[in-house]
Amino acid sequence: MHNSKLQLKELAELPTSADSHYEDEPSELILDKMLDAEPQPEMIEGMPPSDALTPADRYMELFEHVQSSRIFADSKTFPDCSPKMDPLDILLLYRRTRKKDDFDLHAFVEKYFWLPESRGGEYVSNPGDTLKEHIDNLWPVLTREPESHIPWSSLLPLPQAYIVPGGRFGETYYWDSYFTMLGLAESGRNDLLRTMADNFAWMIETYGHIPNGNRTYYLSRSQPPVFALMVELFEEDGIRGARRYLEHLLKEYEFWMDGAESLAPNQAYRHVVKMPDGVLLNRYWDDRDTPRDESWREDVETAKLSSRPVNEVYRDLRAGAASGWDYSSRWLRDADRLASIRTTQFIPIDLNAFLYKLESAIANISVLKGDRETEALFRQKADDRRTAVNQYMWDEEEGCFRDYDWHRQQMALFSAASVVPLYVGLATHAQADKLADAVRSRLLTQGGILATEYETDEQWDKPNGWAPLQWMAIQGFKLYGNDALGDEIARSWLRTVNDFYQQHHKLIEKYHISGDVPRAGGGGEYPLQDGFGWTNGVARRLIGLYGEKYE
């Protein structure tokens, strides 16, 4: 890791090209500063450490100029570019030259940055391959080995090999990885299961949590906490070794519960909300409240459509990205208006179910290690959370779990996230039976289960179906003895993925599953992506369980 010659605060104070003395030649003062500045300590109060600066932090008005000029169709392209020299020097060069009549922003960027490689995009599938062969052949294409880090790039180097989703997503993603690992295990790639889990453990040690992905601009948030499920997968798939991750699970738990001890009822801090009766539940959060680097233009435009303070809108957009459901009517006050987003005011059913799993896993592994005290403590935490989930998020009348809107003190929308309590074993059999009726009548289609029953322009809504939701529904219902529904979802989803594969010779990020024939999913803020890590992972696992005809 490196130190910028000048730190962020100092950089903000440098003159811009609007200062006339700096228009034509660099001031001696600045050059002296650049040359003489000693490496600074990693952290200035209130500032991120220099190696965690995001592209927006580093390039300041150059970043905003590039993002607002739309020189790249995808807002994620520029944040993923690597600088060819010290970012501070690039910024100074920009300030010197941008007012010149012949200044060409695109040419400037191409001169001083390497554009992100599109690795894997050139892969041509063999139309004769079965679905299973296609997925097995893709693992090497989607694998990234640890390699030397380009200085100042937004990519955070990881110590071991990992799988990326594909397309514009050329880095590891936290919750995607769990669903990808299901397929890797089925393909006999236990080596990757181990290296990926070790990478996440390393991130917990290094950053104190698992970031959304291994980019500096993802460090301020996490994603659905599924590390405990990864660890459990080790045991189920015979790799063993869950015990060695206990400290990491405990540290991840601290991240999610930070600040809980000092909250009064009806207060929230970061990820924790203390309910009126004093019980603790969790919400999604991001420590920053600026536009996301990778969706800067989109966020600025969304905030303009809201009458709320822009930093509140940015925070809620970022928290929505942390949820993995970016975006969905789940987080919106008006189901079809993204500007009405209120993610931080919702207590999500899936997040609390995943944290129940984390608490239970810590208790279970503590027993293995003979630590009865920790076991009892975390068993109690899991029990308390289950009681709170039932109190605030179980809708007896409609027979389903729902998010809870803690500002309005009422239940929110029903969605496929409702199956997560089954997947982690939090629900009762009676609840599972009722939920089966709700899922059958409100979410099930011929192609699998919909994300929600509300048709919007967002990607985590009807008409889209997503692989992780299918998997958790299939296994969740089967865990409660409802093989009929689990099998039906599994076969429907496999048919969706295979029919699309037979026609287009690829797997994709999400599918339109409302009609008779599966189509490419749509909606949201970026074009549909091919690849695709978790779709491959879930399909490969299901082929092992159901799919002789796809082998």
Ligand X SMILES: OC[C@H]1O[C@H](O[C@H]2O[C@H](CO)[C@@H](O)[C@H](O)[C@H]2O)[C@H](O)[C@@H](O)[C@@H]1O
Instruction: State yes or no: 13 annotated in a binding site.
Output: no
Query: What are phi and psi for residue 534, nearest 5 degrees?
Result: -75, -25
Q: What angle do CA 421, 426, 429 make, to 5 degrees?
A: 95
Instruction: State yes or no: 168 annotated in a binding site.
Output: yes
Q: Which is nearer to ligand X, 167 or 547 (CB)?
A: 167
Rounded to the nearest angstrom, the gap between the alpha carbon of residue 51 and the centroid of all alpha carbons in its chain is: 21
**3-state SS of 478-545?**
HHCCCHHHHHHHHHHHHHHHHHHHHHHCCCECCEECCCCCCEECCCCCCCCCECCHHHHHHHHHHHHH
Provide the residue count of the chain. 551
Least distance (Å) from ligand X to the CB of residue 467?
Answer: 10
Least distance (Å) from ligand X to the CB of residue 292?
Answer: 5
**Measured between alpha carbons, how far is 134 from 128 in angstroms, rounded to an integer?**
9
Instruction: State yes or no: 223 annotated in a binding site.
Output: yes
Q: Which is nearer to ligand X, 169 or 394 (CB)?
A: 169
Instruction: State yes or no: 294 annotated in a binding site.
Output: yes
Whether 232 sits among the annotated catalytic residues: the reply is no
Least distance (Å) from ligand X to the CB of residue 161?
Answer: 18
Instruction: State yes or no: 222 annotated in a binding site.
Output: yes
Task: List interacting residues with ligand X (CB under 6 A).
Answer: 76, 165, 169, 173, 175-176, 212, 292, 294-295, 321, 324, 326, 526
Least distance (Å) from ligand X to the CB of residue 354?
Answer: 14
Instruction: State yes or no: 188 annotated in a binding site.
Output: no
Cβ proximity of 229 and 182 under 8 Å = no
Instruction: State yes or no: 293 annotated in a binding site.
Output: yes
Q: Which is nearer to ligand X, 76 or 385 (CB)?
A: 76
Least distance (Å) from ligand X to the CB of residue 458?
Answer: 10
Least distance (Å) from ligand X to the CB of residue 317?
Answer: 8
End-to-end CA distance of the chain: 45
Instruction: State yes or no: 176 annotated in a binding site.
Output: yes
**410 beta partners:** 405
Q: Which is nearer to ligand X, 324 or 547 (CB)?
A: 324
**Measured between alpha carbons, how far is 202 from 323 in angstroms, rounded to an integer?**
22
**Measured between alpha carbons, how far is 198 from 135 in angstroms, rounded to an integer?**
23
**455 beta partners:** 462
Residue tagged active-site, from 136, 286, 326, 530: 326
Least distance (Å) from ligand X to the CB of residue 115?
Answer: 17
Residue tagged active-site, from 80, 232, 350, 509: 509
Instruction: State yes or no: 175 annotated in a binding site.
Output: yes
Query: What are phi and psi for residue 77, nearest 5 degrees?
Result: -65, -50
Instruction: State yes or no: 530 annotated in a binding site.
Output: no
Query: What are phi and psi for residue 396, nearest 5 degrees?
Result: -65, -35
CB-based contacts of 140-144 (< 8 A; 24+ apart in sequence): 142/166, 142/531, 142/533, 142/536, 143/192, 144/170, 144/171, 144/172
Which residue, 261, 251, 285, is CA-closest to 271?
A: 285
Which residue, 369, 467, 387, 484, is CA-closest to 427?
A: 387
The enclosing H or E element of 143 equals strand 143-144
Residue 240 has a CB neighbour count (10 Å cut-off) of: 9
Q: Which is nearer to ligand X, 91 or 317 (CB)?
A: 317
Q: Which residue is nearest to ligand X (CB)?
A: 321
Q: Which is nearer to ligand X, 245 or 325 (CB)?
A: 325
Whether 64 sits among the annotated catalytic residues: the reply is no
Least distance (Å) from ligand X to the CB of residue 72?
Answer: 13
Contacts of residue 547, defined as CB under 8 A and 6 or more positions apart, other chains included, come to 131, 132, 494, 498
Q: What angle do CA 288, 260, 352 make, to 5 degrees?
A: 80
Residues that constitute the known binding site: 168, 175-176, 212, 221-223, 292-294, 324, 525
Known binding-site residue numbers for substrate: 168, 175-176, 212, 221-223, 292-294, 324, 525
Q: Which residues form the catalytic set?
A: 326, 509
